């Protein structure tokens, strides 16, 4: 495909060249736009490592045809917080021991941001159901749930003494 | 001198051993800037792909590359004819071809590799290669491989290893005799970070730099250099970020292919596997068939164990020999056993090659012996918990190889501590929702709403295991570390350099903790992990905390002692009396304290050391010897809700007490425990590579099922900390034990639930499938 | 542009008429898996229908007692009120689909377009005797969902046609869906059952997924249960439920594959049917 199309990623218009017709958004983000944060681990939408937001909805970028996402607001992990200044979710993952190899982590960061935006105080079961689309092979999920709960508690007491603990 | 002697009685400062500082690569990983090997590229880089055999066993009649060469953008194609050095590779025996030349021996065996301008062109180029095969009848039955009735499918023969163990009185019997045959399916490591590498050839073509995610840089280098026909020093490996390993990166996969392509065209080449290719591209856990017979007294004390174990190693040997030895030498479990006759076989078939996966043979043996222990308990009328206590090993007891267990062996403590952990306080189906309805997510079947609480029964099951740490059978097992003091604008930094693969387990977090504790300096830098320092051995066998930790500890200790010499000389103190307390150097005689970092300014000390563990021995024809280095123990208790009519399960809780020696970073230890248990749960109820006629049927994540957030229960974990006097830091390896006895504990819980429902299901195979439970 | 973004149905059908062989792209959760796998590559053009507002809307007609759902409504939307109360079995089925990521993108229209026997929405639509509407540049037509699904991943769709909406009755009574998978999330159905107990018409409908080349209805079992039910309490005697379960199993035509065996599937649909029927009575 010789057409050039434009994707709106993390608030910026980005031109995509030399893509092919069915190319998925994950590959375009990584191979053509230099945004390596989203990861590919299954090509089938089964692992969530490629999760991004498209028009504020959490989706698997490997299942989005890149050229069909023109005119939509795409947010990747690079757009969640400035480099070097992690979001509260990102910091909680680090503090709670929720990161081991880190391959599933960017997708989970997106999913957790999405979850807490929609449901600020999720219980254990809700967290598990809402994150069931993100597979982790290293952690067994315990520390990740801890991180989510730490953020929920901290946000509830926003401005107070409580914060993500170490 | 052990670090333990020098720890103060006060709480260690944050960042030192015993605390849980956050991982140094954590922020990069959460922000997505951490460079996994699949994230790195180079200017002018080509993309490489691998052509693989579609047949489990076939003769190659011809390979026609002409159509592929016609495709614009194809830059290099290599086959077996293009391998300049050794044509085969392998971890123990070099029996595996870089590319198949005369025959292919498994579905997925590499036949050629191709590099092109981009992945799309590469894919089309690869599809244009025409290979003519003469299909042969594959050898797919492990017993057939043993019987000698089939011609060898490989010049090395169809038996990779056979080993017998005869210990004590082979004719001993017991009043109670129980036996069973147990099957363990093929599990996949399924790390998320797919295989990827970047090869940068030296101009002049006599050397190469390879960035790759692997478990053992130096062993990779050794094999790659041999195949390329290069001296090892001209093959430089740099660790690319590793997205999990679990044994699947111990063998090389794309390394030689990537290098060959790059050298062919003198351009950088990167390769990256898809998930489907990854299932074919790495080794898997050995499927096994294990017959066991236990003889015991009427009181349930083990008198003798008999076993025949057959491990299907697939087409190439990999580490099958070592996996088998682990399985048979640990056949008794963490129990006293005075007499044993065990026969073990690792065989070659045309199935997918098998090798290392977390647990390495101990997993298969444990499912068998723990299933047996429950049968023994029932036969003797003893509670499953009590029978384990009754037979529990302690320090000084021997393995059936005759080797005494010299480590701390707190098997009883693990059992009791696990038992003390509370059972779930919610009933089957959990508490009702505010509107009075059931929460489907708390029942087997989840959102599928397959059952109501009344359809479900809860069971409890136990599993206990022993795992050998580090390598065995007289292997020269060592790790290297370099420690140097570097003056920096903000003070002295300790630089640590090692080739230890960080695969997610957190060695990069632990190493600075060691340095901070030993040297009293907080600013620690991890230098790039590559082959510019000596080998660290592989990140496997639960060995790196002990070995690489031991090396870092030793290197820092050497540096510290040199610092003490200098400081003592400068101050007129006795160097042998100095010690580190927090961030101070203390002279007890004068009571003086110096800030350690300040004292090190300008010293520029740089030391590289090797650390070795005490030697082990080979085993003789009766399996007798001291083949293992050290042992760790763990107990698991599983609570599982079972739907007997549909055969669906929900693991509700797993409790564990693990013998860790010393928790050097408690948060990391918990991470290993929870993650390992998830893999054990996966083997128990959902994970299996299915091969039909030698062809994989579920090489994708839709059909190879990993436990999700909804499958993993909360884990209650207690750490049994009895510092091991043989371990350099008092700490044992913790990575493997969690995935070993968690599997039989889950299965035992299912059997317990079914028994309560009046159903007697053998469940002698893992993973347990719904039909095994309900039909 | 090879990927076209019509904003109305008429625009879409005109594009499809103009570009024969164009691929219709909704949520992409089926199509992109095939494309990623290399098994399918869009030939020349793609008509993306995710900007057509009409496809993402729904309407309830209380007088006619029908619910009409646009083909582009996602599973996430089907799980939420008020639509969830109008078609509770559809909401239940939607909750079992994949993951939040999949549910945010996947659509009922896509489920129908693919017509896998394991499609989660399909047994519910079949049990509700749902109809779907197809539009094309030449006109439109409506047909029963069960007539639309003709085989494994084969439908009655004609070139140039677009699924626009699905109409199903709002049933007074009880309806439910249950699905068996090996793990507790993100599973392709090994067997699934939808049960609709229609009090107004004193009828029962049972539809089975993953146990035949298409979604199967079970007329014998439906008749059996309908004649055994106490319509006041929606309960039936235990032995009637057992016979109902056996009849459902007998109606299934499962195969053995890498996911499960025919024997297990046949057994499972019987158990699910019995439990759904029990749940219908227990709901009062």
**Does some domain include residue A166?**
no
| Domain-ending residue, one of B579, B612, B645 | B612
In B, minimum Cα distance to A49 occurs at B192
Asked if residues B366 and B374 have their Cβ atoms less than 8 Å apart, the reply is no
Q: What are phi and psi of B393, to 5 degrees?
A: -75, 150
Separation CA B157–CA B444 (nearest Å) = 46
Please check the confidence at residue C100 and state whether its pLDDT lies above 90. Answer: yes
As a whole number, mean pLDDT of residues B124-133 equals: 97
- Give B113-169 as a 3 state SS string: EEEECCHHHHHHHHHCCEEEEEECCCCCCHHHHHHCCCCCCCCCCCEEEEEEEEECC
- State residue C43's pLDDT score: 76
| Domain-ending residue, one of A50, A79, A108 | A79
In B, minimum Cα distance to A47 occurs at B701
> Is there a single domain that holds both residue B429 and residue B344?
yes
Asked if residues B105 and B316 have their Cβ atoms less than 8 Å apart, the reply is yes
Report the 10 Å Cβ neighbour count for B226: 18
Q: Which chains touch B (3+ CB pairs under 8 A)?
A: A, C
- CATH classification of the domain holding A63: 3.10.20.30
Please check the confidence at residue B2 and state whether its pLDDT lies above 50. Answer: no
**Does some domain include residue A9?**
yes
Q: Is B314 helix (H, G, I), strand (E, B) or coil?
A: coil
**Does some domain include residue B185?**
no
pTM above 0.95, yes or no: yes
Separation CA B481–CA B479 (nearest Å) = 7
| Domain-ending residue, one of C169, C184, C204 | C169
**Does some domain include residue A162?**
no
**CA C71 vs CA B204, B397, B694, C88, C146: distances in Å:** 61, 69, 42, 18, 16
As a whole number, mean pLDDT of residues B520-543 equals: 98
Tokens representing B402?
């005759």
> Is there a single domain that holds both residue A46 and residue A104?
no
As a whole number, mean pLDDT of residues B492-497 equals: 98
Identify the domain containing residue B558 by its residue range. Answer: 478-612
Residues of A in contact with C12 (CB under 8 A): none
C-alpha angle with apex B160: B690 to B51, nearest 5 degrees?
50
Residue B278 DSSP label: H
- CATH classification of the domain holding C14: 3.30.465.10
Cα-atom radius of gyration of chain A, to the nearest Å? 16
Interval B285-306: pLDDT, tens: 999 999 999 999 999 999 999 9
- pLDDT higher for A84 or C177? C177
**Does some domain include residue A124?**
yes
> Is there a single domain that holds both residue A98 and residue A31?
no
Identify the domain containing residue A47 by its residue range. Answer: 2-79
> Is there a single domain that holds both residue C140 and residue C228?
no
> Is there a single domain that holds both residue B415 and residue B506?
no
| B648-659 and B606-612 beta bridge pairing | unpaired
Separation CA B323–CA B174 (nearest Å) = 30
> Is there a single domain that holds both residue A73 and residue A106?
no
Q: In the predicted model, what is the mean pLDDT of chain B?
A: 97
Residues of A in contact with C100 (CB under 8 A): 58, 111, 114, 130, 132-133
> Is there a single domain that holds both residue B522 and residue B549?
yes
| A73-75 and B88-89 beta bridge pairing | unpaired
**Does some domain include residue B18?**
no
- State residue B1's pLDDT score: 34
Separation CA A127–CA C35 (nearest Å) = 31
> Is there a single domain that holds both residue C163 and residue C32?
yes
Tokens representing C31?
């199509």
Considering only CB atoms, C271 lies closest to which of B447, B645, B710, namely: B645
> Is there a single domain that holds both residue A95 and residue A65?
no
C-alpha angle with apex B599: B594 to B601, nearest 5 degrees?
155
> Is there a single domain that holds both residue A62 and residue A107?
no
> Is there a single domain that holds both residue C85 and residue C185?
no
> Is there a single domain that holds both residue B349 and residue B399?
yes
Asked if residues A110 and A81 have their Cβ atoms less than 8 Å apart, the reply is no
Q: What are phi and psi of B601, to 5 degrees?
A: -60, 130
Residues of C in contact with A116 (CB under 8 A): none
Whether ipTM tops 0.85, in short, is yes
Per-residue confidence band for C1, with pLDDT thresholds at 50, 70 and 90: low
Tokens representing B181?
């045959």
> Is there a single domain that holds both residue B464 and residue B482?
no
> Is there a single domain that holds both residue B409 and residue B370?
yes
- CATH classification of the domain holding C189: 3.30.390.50
**CA A10 vs CA A35, A36, A40, A74, B32: distances in Å:** 10, 13, 19, 6, 14
In A, minimum Cα distance to C40 occurs at A22
Q: What are phi and psi of B535, to 5 degrees?
A: -65, 145
Give how many domains chain A has, as a whole number: 2
Cis-peptide into B767, omega within 30 deg: yes
> Is there a single domain that holds both residue A71 and residue A11?
yes
Interval B410-465: pLDDT, tens: 999 999 999 999 999 999 999 999 988 889 999 999 999 999 999 999 999 999 99
Give how many domains chain C has, as a whole number: 2
Interval B666-675: pLDDT, tens: 999 999 999 9
> Is there a single domain that holds both residue B256 and residue B309?
no
- pLDDT higher for C40 or B406? B406
**Does some domain include residue B13?**
no
Report the 10 Å Cβ neighbour count for B368: 27
CA-closest candidate to residue C138, choices C4, C19, C13, C20: C13
> Is there a single domain that holds both residue A27 and residue A54?
yes
Separation CA A97–CA B672 (nearest Å) = 11
State the smallest CA–CA distance between residue C23 and chain B in angstroms: 20
> Is there a single domain that holds both residue B603 and residue B646?
no
- Whether residue C101 and residue A44 make contact (CB cut-off 8 A), yes or no, is no
State the smallest CA–CA distance between residue C259 and chain A in angstroms: 16
- State residue A159's pLDDT score: 57
**Does some domain include residue B126?**
yes
- State residue A166's pLDDT score: 40
Q: Is C258 helix (H, G, I), strand (E, B) or coil?
A: coil
**CA B428 vs CA B368, B425, B709: distances in Å:** 29, 10, 19
> Is there a single domain that holds both residue C104 and residue C29?
yes
Alpha helices in B609-720 (DSSP H): 666-685
B276 near C CB under 8 A: yes
- CATH classification of the domain holding B222: 3.90.1170.50
> Is there a single domain that holds both residue A139 and residue A94?
yes
Interval B39-88: pLDDT, tens: 999 999 999 999 999 999 999 999 999 999 999 999 999 999 999 999 99
- State residue A3's pLDDT score: 75
> Is there a single domain that holds both residue C165 and residue C180?
no
Per-residue confidence band for B348, with pLDDT thresholds at 50, 70 and 90: very high
> Is there a single domain that holds both residue C129 and residue C183?
no
Separation CA C244–CA C254 (nearest Å) = 18
Asked if residues B494 and B552 have their Cβ atoms less than 8 Å apart, the reply is no
Separation CA B593–CA B587 (nearest Å) = 7
**Does some domain include residue B12?**
no
Residues of A in contact with C2 (CB under 8 A): 1, 3, 21, 67
Cis-peptide into C82, omega within 30 deg: yes
**CA B456 vs CA B279, B400, B443, B453: distances in Å:** 35, 41, 8, 5
> Is there a single domain that holds both residue A62 and residue A109?
no
Q: Is B208 helix (H, G, I), strand (E, B) or coil?
A: strand
Burial zone of B9 (CB within 10 Å; 0-12 exposed, 13-18 middle, 19+ buried): exposed
Mutate to test the interface with B, among A92, A98, A103 (most CBs of B within 10 A): A103
| Domain-ending residue, one of A26, A44, A79 | A79
B709 near C CB under 8 A: yes
> Is there a single domain that holds both residue B462 and residue B362?
yes
Mutate to test the interface with B, among C30, C37, C182 (most CBs of B within 10 A): C182
As a whole number, mean pLDDT of residues B371-375 equals: 98
Residues of C in contact with A5 (CB under 8 A): 1, 3
C188 near B CB under 8 A: yes
Give how many domains chain B has, as a whole number: 3
Q: What is the largest CA-CA distance in chain A?
A: 56
Please check the confidence at residue B717 and state whether its pLDDT lies above 80. Answer: yes
- State residue A2's pLDDT score: 65
Residues 77-96 of chain C whose Cβ lies under 8 A from any Cβ of chain B: 92, 95-96
- State residue C284's pLDDT score: 63
> Is there a single domain that holds both residue B236 and residue B346?
no
Per-residue confidence band for A1, with pLDDT thresholds at 50, 70 and 90: low
| Domain-ending residue, one of C125, C152, C169 | C169
> Is there a single domain that holds both residue C163 and residue C197?
no
Asked if residues B78 and B261 have their Cβ atoms less than 8 Å apart, the reply is yes
Tokens representing C13?
């059908």
User: Percentage of chain B surpassing pLDDT 70?
Assistant: 99
Per-residue confidence band for B7, with pLDDT thresholds at 50, 70 and 90: very low
Separation CA B557–CA B440 (nearest Å) = 56
B3 DSSP β-pair partners = none
> Is there a single domain that holds both residue C221 and residue C121?
no
Interval A98-114: pLDDT, tens: 999 999 999 999 999 99
State the smallest CA–CA distance between residue A161 and chain B in angstroms: 21
- CATH classification of the domain holding B737: 3.30.365.10
| Domain-ending residue, one of B612, B641, B657 | B612
In A, minimum Cα distance to C99 occurs at A133
- Whether residue A109 and residue B30 make contact (CB cut-off 8 A), yes or no, is yes
> Is there a single domain that holds both residue B112 and residue B261?
yes
B305 DSSP β-pair partners = B294, B340
As a whole number, mean pLDDT of residues C41-62 equals: 93
CA-closest candidate to residue A104, choices B282, B243, B561: B243
Please check the confidence at residue B604 and state whether its pLDDT lies above 90. Answer: no
**Does some domain include residue B364?**
yes
- State residue C90's pLDDT score: 97
B679-692 in b/e burial notation, b at 16+ Cβ within 10 A?
A: bbbbbbbbbbbbbe
Identify the domain containing residue C42 by its residue range. Answer: 3-169
- State residue B4's pLDDT score: 36
> Is there a single domain that holds both residue A6 and residue A45?
yes
| Domain-ending residue, one of C138, C169, C200 | C169
> Is there a single domain that holds both residue C186 and residue C128?
no
Residues of B in contact with A140 (CB under 8 A): 671, 673-678, 712, 715
Residues of B in contact with C96 (CB under 8 A): 446-449
As a whole number, mean pLDDT of residues B744-754 equals: 98
> Is there a single domain that holds both residue C145 and residue C262?
no
Mark out chain A residues that contact chain C at CB-CB < 8 A. 1, 3, 5, 21-22, 24, 43-46, 48, 51, 57-60, 62-65, 67-68, 70-71, 111, 114, 129-130, 132-134
Please check the confidence at residue B473 and state whether its pLDDT lies above 80. Answer: yes
| A vs C: CB pairs below 8 A | 104
Q: Which residue has the tokens 């298969």?
A: B364
- Whether residue A22 and residue C42 make contact (CB cut-off 8 A), yes or no, is yes
As a whole number, mean pLDDT of residues B735-752 equals: 98
Please check the confidence at residue A162 and state whether its pLDDT lies above 70. Answer: no
**CA B35 vs CA A50, B65, B240: distances in Å:** 15, 35, 7
Cα dihedral B85, B90, B95, B98, rounded to 10, equals: -50
As a whole number, mean pLDDT of residues B565-575 equals: 96
Interval C173-228: pLDDT, tens: 999 999 999 898 888 899 999 999 999 999 999 999 999 999 999 999 999 999 99
CA-closest candidate to residue B631, choices B657, B661, B656, B655: B661
> Is there a single domain that holds both residue C115 and residue C14?
yes
- State residue A164's pLDDT score: 46
| Domain-ending residue, one of B612, B637, B659 | B612
- State residue B5's pLDDT score: 39
State the smallest CA–CA distance between residue B703 and chain A in angstroms: 10
| Domain-ending residue, one of A79, A112, A147 | A79
> Is there a single domain that holds both residue A71 and residue A114?
no
């Amino acid at each position: 495909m010789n057409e050039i199309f434009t994707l709106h990623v993390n608030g910026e218009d980005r031109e995509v060249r030399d893509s092919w017709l069915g190319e998925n958004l994950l590959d375009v983000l990584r191979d053509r736009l230099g945004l390596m944060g989203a990861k590919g681990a299954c090509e089938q939408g089964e692992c969530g490592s490629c999760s991004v937001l498209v028009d504020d909805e959490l989706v698997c970028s490997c299942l989005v045809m890149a050229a069909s996402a023109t005119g939509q607001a795409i947010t990747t992990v690079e757009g969640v917080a400035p480099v070097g200044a992690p979001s509260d979710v990102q910091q909680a993952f680090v503090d709670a021991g929720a990161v081991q190899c880190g391959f599933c982590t960017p997708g989970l960061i997106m999913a957790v941001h999405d979850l807490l935006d929609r449901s600020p105080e999720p219980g254990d079961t809700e967290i598990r159901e809402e994150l069931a689309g993100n597979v982790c092979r290293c952690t067994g999920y315990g520390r990740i749930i801890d991180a989510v709960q730490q953020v929920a508690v901290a946000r509830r007491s926003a401005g107070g003494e409580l914060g993500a603990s170490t | 001198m052990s670090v333990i002697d020098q720890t103060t009685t006060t709480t260690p400062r944050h960042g030192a051993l015993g605390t849980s500082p956050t991982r140094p690569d954590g922020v990069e990983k959460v922000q997505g800037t951490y460079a996994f090997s699949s994230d790195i590229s180079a200017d002018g880089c080509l993309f490489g792909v691998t052509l693989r055999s579609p047949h489990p066993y076939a003769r190659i009649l011809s390979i026609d590359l002409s159509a592929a060469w016609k495709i614009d953008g194809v830059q290099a194609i290599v086959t077996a004819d293009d391998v300049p050095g050794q044509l085969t590779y392998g971890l123990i025996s070099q029996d595996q071809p870089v590319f198949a030349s005369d025959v292919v021996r498994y579905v997925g065996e590499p036949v050629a590799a191709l590099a092109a301008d981009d992945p799309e062109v590469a894919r089309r180029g690869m599809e244009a290669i025409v290979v003519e095969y003469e299909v042969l009848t594959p050898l797919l039955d492990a017993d057939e491989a043993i019987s000698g009735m089939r011609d060898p499918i490989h010049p090395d023969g169809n038996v990779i290893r056979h080993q017998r163990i005869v210990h004590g009185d082979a004719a001993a019997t017991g009043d109670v005799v129980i036996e069973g045959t147990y099957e363990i399916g093929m599990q996949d490591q399924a790390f998320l970070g797919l295989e990827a590498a970047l090869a940068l050839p030296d101009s002049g073509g006599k050397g190469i730099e390879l960035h790759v995610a692997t478990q053992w840089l130096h062993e990779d280098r050794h094999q790659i250099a041999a195949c390329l026909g290069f001296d090892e020093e001209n093959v430089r490996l740099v660790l690319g970020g590793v997205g999990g390993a679990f044994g699947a990166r111990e063998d090389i996969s794309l390394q030689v292919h990537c290098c060959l392509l790059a050298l062919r065209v003198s351009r950088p080449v990167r390769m990256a596997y898809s998930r489907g290719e990854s299932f074919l591209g790495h080794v898997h856990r050995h499927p096994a068939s294990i017959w066991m017979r236990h003889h015991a007294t009427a009181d349930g004390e083990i008198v003798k164990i008999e076993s025949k174990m057959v491990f299907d190693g697939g087409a190439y040997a990999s580490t099958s020999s070592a996996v088998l030895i682990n399985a048979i030498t640990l056949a008794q479990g963490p129990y006293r056993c005075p007499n044993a006759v065990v026969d073990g076989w690792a065989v070659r078939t045309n199935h997918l090659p098998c090798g290392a996966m977390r647990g390495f043979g101990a997993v298969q043996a444990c499912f068998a012996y723990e299933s047996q222990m429950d049968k023994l308990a029932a036969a003797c009328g003893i509670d499953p918990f009590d029978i384990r206590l009754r037979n529990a090993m302690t320090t000084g007891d021997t393995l059936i190889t005759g080797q005494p267990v010299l480590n701390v062996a707190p098997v009883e403590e693990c059992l009791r501590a696990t038992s003390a952990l509370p059972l779930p306080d919610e009933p089957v189906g959990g508490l009702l929702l505010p509107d009075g309805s059931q929460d489907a997510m708390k029942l087997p079947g989840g959102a599928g709403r397959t059952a109501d609480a009344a359809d479900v029964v809860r069971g409890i099951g136990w599993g206990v295991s022993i795992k050998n740490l580090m390598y065995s059978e007289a292997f020269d097992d060592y790790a290297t570390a370099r420690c140097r003091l570097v003056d920096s604008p903000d003070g002295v930094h300790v630089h640590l350099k090692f080739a230890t693969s960080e695969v997610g387990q957190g060695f990069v977090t632990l190493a600075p903790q060691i340095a901070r504790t030993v040297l009293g300096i907080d600013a620690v830098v991890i230098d790039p992990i590559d082959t510019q320092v000596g080998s660290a051995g592989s990140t496997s066998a639960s060995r790196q905390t002990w070995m690489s930790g031991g090396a870092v500890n030793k290197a820092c200790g050497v540096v510290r002692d040199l610092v003490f010499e200098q400081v003592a000389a400068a101050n007129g103190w006795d160097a042998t009396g100095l010690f580190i307390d927090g961030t101070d150097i203390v002279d007890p005689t004068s009571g003086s304290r110096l800030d350690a970092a300040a004292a090190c300014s300008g010293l520029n000390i740089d030391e590289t050391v090797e650390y070795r563990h005490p030697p082990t021995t080979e085993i003789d024809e009766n399996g007798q010897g001291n083949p293992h280095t050290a042992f760790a123990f763990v107990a698991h208790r599983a609570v599982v809700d079972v739907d007997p009519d549909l055969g669906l399960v929900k693991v509700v809780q797993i409790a564990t007490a693990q013998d860790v020696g010393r928790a050097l970073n408690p948060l990391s230890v918990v991470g290993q425990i929870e993650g390992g248990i998830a893999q054990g749960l996966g083997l128990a109820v959902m994970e299996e590579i299915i091969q039909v006629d030698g062809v994989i049927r579920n090489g994708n994540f839709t059909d190879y099922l990993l436990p999700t957030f909804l499958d993993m229960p909360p884990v209650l974990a207690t750490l049994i900390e009895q510092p091991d006097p043989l371990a350099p830091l008092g700490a044992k390896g913790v990575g493997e034990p969690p995935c070993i006895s968690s599997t039989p504990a889950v299965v035992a819980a299912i059997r317990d639930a079914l028994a309560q429902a009046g159903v007697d299901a053998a469940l002698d195979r893992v993973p347990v499938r719904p039909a095994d439970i309900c039909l | 542009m090879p990927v076209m973004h019509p904003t109305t149905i008429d625009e879409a059908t005109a594009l499809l008429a103009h570009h024969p062989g164009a691929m219709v792209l909704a949520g992409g959760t089926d199509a992109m898996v095939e494309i990623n796998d290399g098994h399918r590559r869009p030939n020349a053009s793609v008509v993306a229908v995710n900007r057509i507002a009409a496809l993402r809307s729904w309407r309830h007609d209380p007088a006619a007692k029908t619910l009409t759902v646009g083909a582009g409504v996602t599973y996430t939307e089907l799980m939420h009120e008020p639509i969830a109360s109008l078609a509770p079995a559809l909401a239940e089925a939607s909750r079992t689909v994949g993951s939040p990521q999949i549910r945010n993108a996947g659509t009922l229209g896509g489920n129908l377009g693919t017509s896998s026997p394991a499609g989660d929405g399909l047994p519910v639509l079949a049990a509700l005797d749902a109809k779907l509407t197809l539009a094309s540049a030449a006109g439109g037509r409506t047909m029963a969902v069960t007539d639309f699904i003709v085989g494994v991943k084969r439908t009655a769709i004609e070139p140039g046609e677009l699924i626009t909406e699905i109409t199903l009755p709002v049933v007074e009574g009880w309806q439910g869906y249950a699905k068996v998978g090996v793990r507790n999330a993100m599973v392709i159905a090994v067997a699934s059952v939808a049960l609709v107990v229609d009090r107004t018409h004193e009828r029962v409908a049972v539809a089975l997924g993953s146990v035949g080349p298409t979604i199967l209805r079970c007329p014998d079992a439906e008749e059996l249960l309908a004649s055994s039910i106490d319509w006041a309490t929606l309960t039936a005697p235990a032995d009637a439920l057992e016979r109902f379960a056996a009849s459902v199993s007998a109606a299934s035509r499962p195969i053995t594959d890498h996911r499960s065996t025919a024997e297990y599937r046949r057994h499972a649909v019987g158990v699910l049917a019995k439990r759904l029927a029990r749940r219908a009575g227990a709901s009062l």
